[in-house]
Structures are given as structure tokens and as C-alpha cells.
């Protein structure tokens, strides 16, 4: 990440949490990048600064872009960014896929694809690779998107491969999720298996230059017609794109915007999504903490006692849970 020239040579090391937050809200990309490293490293300062940014976020349209590996998500992301930039928007991109163009493990072709945006200070691109924590990927992506949101980037695109629960959880924080499919290969069926159909607000049939794009669209329509049709419910549109030729990108951007307009018009639906997002984040934070604390509380003596049948696991579970409940912490 190159700092914009307007940034004074900041000694970030001397800033306290409030100073950090002020810098970030003022648009300092270097300070934001530092915070994102804190987030990656699970540094305690990350939470302290995030708490200060939280009231300032909530304006951006967070858009999830997911689909099978190689479906063309990164190519679509680069094309969408170009489209939005041309409309004068400041765009954020959070790339979750470790093999994505924005991450360290990028393959050369991918990197070139996104290179046109890499020197543009109105585009903030950040990759997320944090793994190994339950829900870690999703929470890091959410935190990073929130930082961009607080800084005024809008829309914010989150690219994640639609394989594996942790990856799919990522788009639960998105307001609008676009699911990318490609013609042939029975992708439609794979999508159902992976639960991608249920989370789609917009379908993209990318690689429409290939045989079978119409067929794929028809198959999708058919599947949709089998689903439940609640009155007034949003029917996910199907957009055909050729990402490498940047065809259909305007239509895709329009479909994404239309979904948000519909959510906003529906009122309660938007509230529902916000509530679902809040629940997802809160549950993930609490679950993570409880898991960690439990890990520390369960000692070998207890395990041996249960194994030797001196104690029973139910009583021990009750005891542990009671201990967690009584340690209410600061309120």
C-alpha cells in the first residue's frame, strides 16, 4: 500500500488509540493499514481502535462476491472497481481468498489485472488471510470492511471463495451478495450443495463467451421457480458477464444497486439484515472468547477424573459454565 502524498510523514508509533482513530477517520491510509495489521495480528490495540471507529461506520454498501474457485471473481472485482471509479465513487475491496490478486500469494496474471487500481488512492484494497480461529476469517473481513466504511469508502466489495463454511460466513456480513457461476461443469448443482443459492441476492453467469451460458441461466431460472415465492420478496436477478472483456459489468453494478434500493424501500428487510449482521458478529466474538477461556479452564486433572469416572462430564460442564457466568467482567 503506497501512502498518498498528502499524508505527512507520520510517526504512528507515538499515537494513542484516540489519535489513531482520528487519523483514520481523516483518511490516513497508512494509519488504516497499520490498524489492519493489528487486526491480522490480533493485537489488543485493534479492538481499542475499532471501538472508536464503530460509530462512524454503517453507511457503505457492503457487497459480497463469492463463487467457486476460478469463476472469475477477481476479474469481476477489478472490472466493478473500474466501473465504480468511473462514477466517482471511492471503493473498498476486501479479498479473503488467500490466492487472490490482492494478497501476498498472488499469481502474476491476477496482480496485473488489479494493477490499474493499485496506485489509485480512491481505491482501498486489502487482503485477509487470518485463519486458525473459529470465524476468524469472517471477523477479520468484517473488521477491515468496517474500517473502510468509517473512512467513507462506498461501496465495499468483499471477495471470497464460496467453498467452506468459514469462507461462506464472510458474506453474511454483506448487505448484498453476488454469487458467480460459470457455464457448464454442473456449477449450478455445486452451488446448491455449497448453500450458495440461498445466500445469493444477485446471480452472475460469468464467462458468457463460453458455450452454455444461456443454458446455465435457464437452469438457474428453473431452480428459482422451484423455490418458495413469498409475496414481494426479492427475486435474485441473473446477470450474464464476460469479465475479461468487461461486458455486463454495468448491468451487474445496476443489479447490486437495485438490491440495496429494494432493501432500503422495504425498511424492515434492511433492519433484518443489519440485525443478522450484528448477531453474526456478536456471536462470533462471544463464541471465540468462551472457546478460548474454556481451553484454559479445562485442565488435565479434570479430564483424568472424568476418564477415571471419579467425576462426570455433565457436572463438570455445569461447573465450568457457572464459572464463566460469574466472571461477568467489566460492564
Q: Which residues within the stretch 197-216 sit at the binding site for ligand GTP (CB under 6 A)?
A: 206-207, 209-210
Binding mask 40-69 for ligand GTP (x = CB under 6 A): -----------------------------x
For ligand GTP, the closer of residues 46 and 204 by Cβ is 204
Which residue's C-beta sits nearest to Mg ion?
Answer: 74
Q: Which residue has the cell 437452469?
A: 219
The single residue among 28, 110, 167, 219 that binds ligand GTP, judged by CB under 6 A, is 110
Residue 69's binding partner among ligand GTP, Mg ion, none (Cβ under 5 to 8 angstroms by kind) is: ligand GTP
User: Three-state secondary structure along 186-210?
Assistant: CHHHHHHHCCHHHHCCEEEECCCCC
Contact 105, 271 (CB under 8 A): no
Q: Which of 244, 269, 306, 324 binds ligand GTP (CB under 6 A)?
A: 244
Beta strands 156-161; 91-95: pairing state: parallel
Which listed option, Mg ion, ligand GTP, none, makes contact with residue 72 (CB within 5 to 8 Å by class)?
A: ligand GTP
| Contact with Mg ion (CB under 5 A) among 74, 127, 138, 140 | 74
Q: What is the secondary structure of 36-83 as a DSSP string? A: HHHHHHT-HHHHHHHHHHGGG---S-EEEEEESTTSSHHHHHHHHHHH
Establish if 100 lies at the interface with Mg ion (CB under 5 A). Answer: yes
Q: How far is the CB of 263 from Mg ion (least distance, A)?
A: 26
Interaction partner, residue 206 (Mg ion, ligand GTP, none; CB < 5-8 Å by kind): ligand GTP
Minimum Å distance from CB 244 to ligand GTP?
4
Q: Which three cell numbers stand for residue 51?
A: 471501538
Please say which residue, 74 or 130, places its beta carbon nearer to Mg ion: 74
Measured from the CB atom, is 156 or 249 closer to ligand GTP? 249
Interhelix angle 29-41/44-53, rounded to 10 degrees, is 130
Exposure b/e, 92-106, CB count within 10 A at least 16 = b: bbbbbbeebbbbeeb
Nearer to ligand GTP, 31 or 77 (CB): 77
How many CA atoms, within 13 angstroms, populate the side-chain half-sphere of residue 196? 27
What are the C-alpha distances in Å from 296 to residues 189, 238, 289, 293? 43, 49, 11, 5
Number of neighbours of residue 302 by Cβ within 10 angstroms: 16
Question: Shortest distance, CB of residue 69 to ligand GTP, whole angstroms?
Answer: 4
Residues that bind Mg ion (CB under 5 A): 73-74, 97, 100
Residues that bind ligand GTP (CB under 6 A): 69-75, 97, 99-100, 110, 161, 206-207, 209-210, 242-244
Amino acid at each position: 500500500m503506497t501512502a498518498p502524498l498528502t499524508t505527512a510523514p507520520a510517526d504512528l508509533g507515538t499515537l494513542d488509540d484516540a489519535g489513531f482513530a482520528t487519523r483514520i477517520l481523516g483518511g490516513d491510509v497508512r494509519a488504516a493499514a497499520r490498524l489492519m495489521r493489528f487486526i491480522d495480528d490480533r493485537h489488543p490495540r485493534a479492538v481499542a481502535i475499532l471501538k472508536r471507529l464503530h460509530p462512524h461506520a454503517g453507511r457503505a454498501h457492503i457487497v459480497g462476491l463469492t463463487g467457486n474457485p476460478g469463476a472469475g471473481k477477481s476479474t469481476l472485482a477489478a472490472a466493478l472497481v473500474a466501473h465504480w471509479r468511473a462514477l466517482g465513487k471511492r471503493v473498498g475491496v476486501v479479498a479473503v481468498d488467500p490466492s487472490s490478486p490482492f494478497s501476498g500469494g498472488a499469481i502474476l496474471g491476477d496482480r496485473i489485472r488489479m494493477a490499474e487500481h493499485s496506485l489509485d488512492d480512491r481505491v482501498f484494497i486489502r487482503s485477509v488471510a487470518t485463519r486458525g480461529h473459529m470465524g476468524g476469517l469472517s471477523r477479520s473481513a468484517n473488521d477491515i470492511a468496517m474500517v473502510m466504511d468509517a473512512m467513507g469508502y462506498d461501496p465495499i466489495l468483499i471477495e471470497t471463495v464460496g467453498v467452506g463454511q468459514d469462507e461462506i460466513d464472510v458474506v453474511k456480513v454483506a448487505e448484498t451478495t453476488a454469487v458467480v457461476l460459470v457455464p457448464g461443469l454442473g456449477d449450478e448443482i455445486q452451488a446448491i450443495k455449497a448453500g450458495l443459492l440461498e445466500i445469493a441476492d444477485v446471480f452472475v453467469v460469468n464467462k458468457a463467451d463460453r458455450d452454455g451460458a444461456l443454458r446455465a441461466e435457464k437452469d438457474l431460472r428453473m431452480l428459482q421457480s422451484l423455490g418458495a415465492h413469498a409475496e414481494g420478496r426479492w427475486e435474485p436477478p441473473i446477470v450474464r458477464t464476460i469479465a475479461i472483456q468487461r461486458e455486463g459489468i454495468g448491468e451487474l453494478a445496476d443489479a447490486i444497486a437495485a438490491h440495496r434500493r429494494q432493501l432500503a424501500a422495504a425498511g424492515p428487510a434492511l433492519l433484518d439484515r443489519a440485525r443478522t449482521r450484528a448477531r453474526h458478529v456478536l456471536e462470533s466474538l462471544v463464541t471465540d472468547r468462551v472457546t478460548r477461556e474454556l481451553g484454559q479452564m479445562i485442565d488435565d486433572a479434570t479430564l483424568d477424573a472424568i476418564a477415571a469416572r471419579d467425576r462426570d462430564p455433565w457436572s463438570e460442564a455445569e461447573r465450568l459454565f457457572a464459572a464463566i457466568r460469574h466472571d461477568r467482567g467489566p460492564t
